[in-house]
Structure 1
Amino acid sequence: MADTRYEKISTPDGDFEAFCALPETSPAPAVLVLQEVFGINDNIRGLCEQLADAGYLALAPDVFWRSEPRFERKDESGLADGFAHLQRLDFDLVPADLTATMAHARAMPGCNGTVGGIGFCLGGTLAYLLATSARVDGRGPDAVVSYYGSAIHGMLGSADRIECPVLFHYGSRDPYIPAEQIDDVERAVAGRPGVTLHRYEAGHAFSNWDAPSLYDEAAARTAWERTLRFLDEHLRP
């Protein structure tokens, strides 16, 4: 079982917390784990611990810290609360929070200086923002994984700012992300080095084992295996 704790991340307009899971061996590559609308809940903490077990320092920033620090809900019953916080989320401020988290991770003694990112749902969109917008001394993340980010299709004007390998996962039966929007993402990133997009016969949030009506075990397992291979390839040169 990974050692876990909370880290304090400082920004010019305040401090927030990030859940941290530590691997047995350090220094190690770090992976920022970006939350769904349910907050830093058992699912996100569990993913951090799985990454730590795989040898990564996992750090999950509290994205909703300005509206309700440590907000969390368990499953579909918390969607209304999560969407209320999402509507209050200032996407102009998010890149700075992601940048501060990446800078904090790189400065941690347990990090070897390499930092990737992985995000789910809302976090899938934030992972795209991490790849396109977060820079520390001119350097962005080293690799990013985005699971079913529903707002990415509206941000494709910044696709040419992707400077690292990116892995996209989408469900072909996602009621929130029409196939045409996935097609738009695929076209926008086509030909970019190290960028891959996979589709699964599954719906939205298929990786979330804490939301039974959304979880698809087969798709989740395949996507996670691909994710770990991708992270190993790009964060462990």
Structure 2
Amino acid sequence: MRIGLGCELTYELPKDTPMIVLLNVHYSRVGYLERPDRLVTDPPVPIESYRDLFGNWCCRLVGPRGRFVLRTDGVILDDGETDPVDLTAIQHPVEDLPAATLGYLLASRYCETDLLSGEAWRLFEHGPSGWGRVQAICDFVHDHVRFGYEHSRPTRTAAETYAEGRGVCRDFTHLAVAFCRCMNIPARYCTGYISDIGLPPPYEPMDFAAWMEVYLGGRWWAFDPRNNAPRRGRVLIARGRDAADVPLTHTFGPNTLSGFRVWIDELAA
């Protein structure tokens, strides 16, 4: 399957403004790019690229005063399969977990495991373990939180999402990540593209999406508490402890986002 994907973000900047941008497909999928999704800007500016602490590909630049556009547009090859599932995947005892996963058991900026631990154990201690426990967490979050862009708030934490029962995909993900960590399951936050390929219309306007990966049965698996179903055409951009680690754009100064488009569509073979 060939998938076209990309984005266009338009800013109004009152002065020259440094930015860090995470908009390119994750390095784990770069080998599948038929046409690289290179970052281009209008007007053109120098771009310095580097990898952050989590291995994500970041672009560093200074946006000039006035109208400034960031754009990517690529084509990626995909097997067309839905997210993999293994109902037998086990939860590892903490003492058996690889050292690289342990940081994803800890509290982070938006995932307050200390505040949610008691509720997590009350809700999920007596249910299934392993894959079944993570699915139970996703089912609960999917049913408990009401989705709506009008509910978006960039400072909302997992504990606040639990209390308020509303949010957008990042809030669903933060709450599910926090619950998994409370139950001693490593969980990390992911951002990227989720397509509507294979789904019946009508289709909502496309946006970037958030989901999580959890460590079960010796590997990481994607779970999506917002949609709560395996999807085709899921393309990772970045992963970290929570959204604070992987903002799509980090702008060091005042700005206005005046235009925003995201696309991911199946193309002809």
TM-score, normalisation: structure 1: 0.27
Structure with the larger strand share: 2
Structure with the larger helix share: 1
TM-score, normalisation: structure 2: 0.25
